[in-house]
Amino acid sequence: MADTWEQDEKFAALAAYLPEGASLPKPAVSGEVVGGDAPKEEEPKKEGADAPPAQGGEKKLSKNQLKKLAKGKNKQKKEKPQWNTAKKDKKVKAAPPKFEFKNETPKGEKKDLSKIPMQDAYHPSAVEAAWQEWWEAKGFYSCDPKVAAGRSKDEKFVMVIPPPNVTGSLHLGHALTAAVEDTLTRWHRMKGHATLYVPGTDHAGIATQSVVEKMLTKNEGKNRHDLGREAFVKKVWEWKDEYGGRITGQLRRLGSSVDWKRERFTMDDMLSKAVVEAFNRFHEKGILYRANRLGNWSCALKSAISDIEVDYIELEGRTYLEVKTHKGNPKDPKGRYEFGTLTSFAYPLEGSDKKIIVATTRLETMLGDTAVAVHPEDDRYKHLHGKFAIHPFNNRRIPIITDAELVDMSFGTGAVKITPAHDPNDYEVGKRHNLEFITMLASDGSLNDNGAPFTGMMRYDARIAVEEALKEKGLYIGKEPNKMRLGLCSRSGDILEPMITPQWYVNCTDMAKRSTDAVRNGELKIIPADHEKTWFMWLDNIRDWCVSRQLWWGHQIPAWFATKKGESLEKNDMANNGRWVVARNESDALEKATKLLACPKEEVKLERDEDVLDTWFSSGLFPFSVMGWPDNTDDLKGFYPTSLLETGLDILFFWVARMVMMGLELTDTLPFHTVFLHAMVRDKEGRKMSKSLGNVIDPLEVIGGCSLESLQNRLDGGNLPEKEVARAKKNNDIEFPEGIPECGSDALRFGLLAYTVQGRDINLDVKRVVGYRMFCNKLWQATRFALKFVVDFQPSPTLIKDLTASGKMGPRDKYMLSRMMNAAEAVNNFLANYKFGDAQQAAYCFWMDDLCSNYLELVKPVVYNKSEENKDKRWAAQATLWLALESGLRMLHPMMPYVTEELWQRLPGRGSLGSEEPETIMLAPYPEPIEELKDSAAESAMADANEVIKACRSLRSSYNIKPKDLTEFYVKASGSFETSAANQTDDIATLGSASAVHVNPHESDIPDTVGTLIVNEQLTVLVNLKGLVDYKVEISRLQKTLKNTVGPLEQLRKKMCADSYEERVPEDLKKANAEKLEGLEKKKTEIEAAIADFERLAALEK
């Protein structure tokens, strides 16, 4: 079955340039020839053919051959003349030799192309070698902040990279981000703007701690508590130093033109200083505080997480789920636990044999119940107002309260159990009625002493045990399926628990309003605009942000608990909350504590908060912390605010909103004026890219190619469970049975950009991206071929002016320059509006259609003709071709940096174009449209000429004329077609394979032996077929086709004329049959007309 990408129109066009039988390169061979001169092919051995010569050169005959020779059967047969219809022997394509390239350019030096012959085919490893090191060494990526400070907003472009987690390597989703961002960066740099693209990585608190702890367990059988905090953090830093460079290596291979001298890590000293400053400023303003309140708790992480780090799954009813923090449910064969049920049980009433029935989806929480609520107007319970129920396991008196806000009389029994410490709604009830808040879970999800007699059990094991105990006490009523929503930790996948814990919070109300106002009044632009509603939904309903995490890896909170020597105070007791001191360092904290406690410094004891800040806290400062804030550095003055924030739409609130809020609050300035959100990258089946699904591909595996074995080995070396490794390997077997071929960075970038459509998810098929390697090869081959035409041409610094003022340009030259101007205008407009897919397509079409398919073919006879009378035309063609190549390479460079640099440097005249000639293509000016060179008349004339050429080719194809046989055409034209055909007969002859083209000849000059194609009312093209077609063979072929058409046609007619056809056959089938009948009848008519035409022509030649 053909690959999906091979069915794409774009790649059908590319495939036309491949040698016969060629396909995508295989990963085992990196020296394939695609689109270039194919290697010599061997004829397959036929019966009776000569055997290969034996040693010494003598041919040795087989027994069969000897027998045939003895019988006289091995005589050579005379070949009969054939007319294009004989079957060609299939040739076996010899495998090209594997291309080996050794990069001999010293690191940081410019590649000397005078010593490196241009290869016959495109080899990414050779083309992409050495350029990145040279670009970096020359400082092309850097920018002077003082220069930037003097530029207007429209004359500079500054962007920070969305810092990827330092935990691992980039996948193709990150590669899309890099492709989009670097395309914009290089485009702005070529437009002469002061340009800076800042790289960095995020310390990723939860993710990094989890990865290192898993490795610690796997390699040493220890957890972080076995090491202690200081030793564990040291271990994380060691891991970061060893593995953190993988991401920078990937970005370099992708060609990202970031300023590596400004590379930042969110735990660097400079960025850590910014974190401490921001925390203190928030506290000083009164918007940062410490409180004991209900929040999301991950038992797996033993940490609080914020509301936006919660994923939800909807359960339609009874559902069994695996819980990784538990040993497993012994009652389930797979160890899973039951969810999605509503369990009813009864509380005994105090001093009575009566009971009150309540229901819950989390039965174990009844151990923390401190009330039963009923509606004040519910007659069933009015006699119980102010009474008490008795807890069956600890004899706690549970008040029966009335609450009209919570209780729905029509739902269930109308009585609701209240667990204020473990349910958001109950938490509010507890505050309204001043109830006791009893926390019955420990940090790991086991039951604490308040959960007696089930203390020590994990929460869902306790759920089972409580149900059994209620049954024994006769208090269990029943259980039924119940729809519910379950909150999961987006970091660990653990089922979350509402827990009351002391945490640090930031009041975001005012910051959020400023952020929404900025979008509403147009100061901040979000692209695509339909994501504004998500922006408003989050920020208009924002809650206070829980910024503390119970982790060891991250920015430790700059707060100290102050006591006097000899005092023994519980720091988590909110009664002592006033003892917390927020400061920029410990000495500053000591000063503040001394004043707070009104005692000498020697009497003060400080204990720093062990918790760390949410990773997004430091990430939210990134656009200005990387510039040196809070210090007023040159970088901050020159590069802040930045221009654009480009990222995935999935972190619009996680990161983007927080950067805007914190930027406005701390710098009183928007950190950027535009947010561009690219779509989520998914696999070709629409699944999110995830390591556990086995669909994550490292960009380097596409750039350099890799075998299936390498893909599988990478999975073995990771931290995935065995079951997930097996699933991932199976996926690789299906998707990449022969591995991934070497494609290079340019093909990967260009292919990813082709996918970008605003506001839609990208279902990425890696095989389609691989196909863009063919375009790189076409680019290489076209330029290599064109360089032969300009080998004796010397460009000038003012070439375009010289050409247009010369008066030597022909219609084809004016057409080419006009197409070049229109392409430049289109690509510039698309990039300015973040339409990367459209920009890619416009540049692609310029090369494939305008330059390669049209102009390059048209100028062949002009350039080959070195006669004196053709001198001016030849110079104009060479000048136009040089300009088209040079401009086309600059146009592509932001999207395909490596191959364009290599080809641009190979153009003749390089280094001789004056003092203003740039050293590198990345500093060359980006092509801009010149209005006076747009020539709609030249383009219309070429469009008319192409219609004639298309008709010529169609006629040749219809009559099976051999490519080597030139034909004589007669063009009957009126209107614009007449002018265009008359002015461009040479071009029509070139692309139409004509020996001569006659425009509007006298009827008497048109022979009878012509085939005719009527294009439209203004254009008819005729071809002289005399001596070019074996009519007898063609008629025989068509008669066979007619026979194969008439049979099915008659069968279908018979079927449709059968009795009861109209009554019994469904309407959709009748419609399909009618369409099929119409198609067969049309085909029959066309074949009969073709036979009659051949018979007419055959008669004329007799």
Quick one: what percent of the chain has pLDDT higher than 70? 90
- Beta strands 994-999 and 967-973 are parallel
Average pLDDT over residues 221-246: 88
Instruction: List the structure tokens of 985.
Output: 């007969």
CA angle 484, 488, 494 (to 5 degrees): 125
What confidence category does residue 88 fall into, taking pLDDT thresholds of 50, 70 and 90? very low
The residue assigned the tokens 């449709």 is 1056
Whether the pLDDT of residue 12 is over 60: the answer is: no
Q: What is the pLDDT of residue 690?
A: 66
What confidence category does residue 222 fall into, taking pLDDT thresholds of 50, 70 and 90? confident
Quick one: what percent of the chain has pLDDT higher than 90? 68
CA 504 to chain CA centroid, nearest Å: 36
Q: What is the pLDDT of residue 914?
A: 87
Q: Which residues pair with 446 in a beta bridge?
A: 458
User: pLDDT tens, 241-296?
Assistant: 888 788 899 999 999 999 999 999 999 999 999 999 999 999 999 999 999 999 99
Q: What is the pLDDT of residue 432?
A: 95
Minimum mean pLDDT among 30-39, 489-498, 618-627: which range?
30-39
Side-chain half-sphere of 594: how many Cα atoms within 13 Å?
Answer: 10
CB 754 within 8 A of CB 895: no
User: pLDDT tens, 366-375?
Assistant: 999 999 999 9
Q: Tell me 94's DSSP state.
A: P
Q: How many angstroms separate the CA atoms of 306 and 295, rounded? A: 8
Instruction: List the structure tokens of 824.
Output: 């430049």
User: pLDDT tens, 987-1036?
Assistant: 999 999 999 999 999 999 999 888 888 888 899 999 999 888 888 888 88
Q: What is the pLDDT of residue 694?
A: 62
User: pLDDT tens, 19-45?
Assistant: 344 443 444 333 332 333 333 333 333
Whether the pLDDT of residue 63 is over 80: the answer is: no
Q: What is the pLDDT of residue 86?
A: 35
Instruction: List the structure tokens of 81.
Output: 């003349």
User: pLDDT tens, 932-972?
Assistant: 999 999 999 999 999 999 999 999 998 889 999 999 999 99
Q: What is the pLDDT of residue 710?
A: 87
Q: Which residues pair with 762 in a beta bridge?
A: 681
176 vs 650: which has the higher pLDDT? 176
Q: Is 287 helix (H, G, I), strand (E, B) or coil?
A: coil
What confidence category does residue 711 fall into, taking pLDDT thresholds of 50, 70 and 90? confident
Whether the pLDDT of residue 79 is over 60: the answer is: no
What confidence category does residue 1093 fall into, taking pLDDT thresholds of 50, 70 and 90? confident
User: For 43-72, b where at least 16 C-beta lie within 10 A, e where not — what string?
Assistant: eeeeeeeeeeeeeeeeeeeeeebeebeeee
Whether the pLDDT of residue 80 is over 60: the answer is: no
Q: Left, alpha or beta for 845 (phi > 0: left; psi -120 to 50: alpha)?
A: alpha
Whether the pLDDT of residue 110 is over 90: the answer is: yes
Bond prior to 376 in cis (omega within 30° of 0) = no
H/E element, 207: helix 205-220
Q: Which of 877, 871, 659, 837 is CA-nearest to residue 176?
A: 837
Whether the pLDDT of residue 459 is over 70: the answer is: yes
Q: How many angstroms separate the CA atoms of 540 and 505, rounded? A: 18
Instruction: List the structure tokens of 314.
Output: 């909807």
Residues in the chain: 1102
Whether the pLDDT of residue 2 is over 70: the answer is: no
Other beta carbons less than 10 A from residue 241's beta carbon: 9
Instruction: List the structure tokens of 1003.
Output: 């009827």
State the virtual CA torsion across 254, 258, 262, 268 in degrees, nearest 10: -40
Question: Mean pLDDT across the chain, nearest whole number?
Answer: 87
Beta strands in 725-768 (DSSP E): 762-764
Whether the pLDDT of residue 147 is over 70: the answer is: yes
The residue assigned the tokens 């048209």 is 858
Whether the pLDDT of residue 761 is over 90: the answer is: no
Q: Which of 773, 649, 540 is CA-nearest to residue 15?
A: 773
Q: How many angstroms separate the CA atoms of 861 and 771, rounded? A: 32
- Beta strands 1010-1016 and 1019-1024 are antiparallel
Whether the pLDDT of residue 10 is over 90: the answer is: no
Instruction: List the structure tokens of 409.
Output: 């009389």
CA angle 1064, 1070, 1076 (to 5 degrees): 145
Angle between the N-to-C axes of helices 811-832 and 871-892, in degrees from 0 to 180, rounded to the nearest 10: 10
Q: Which of 577, 609, 581, 574 is CA-nearest to residue 595?
A: 581
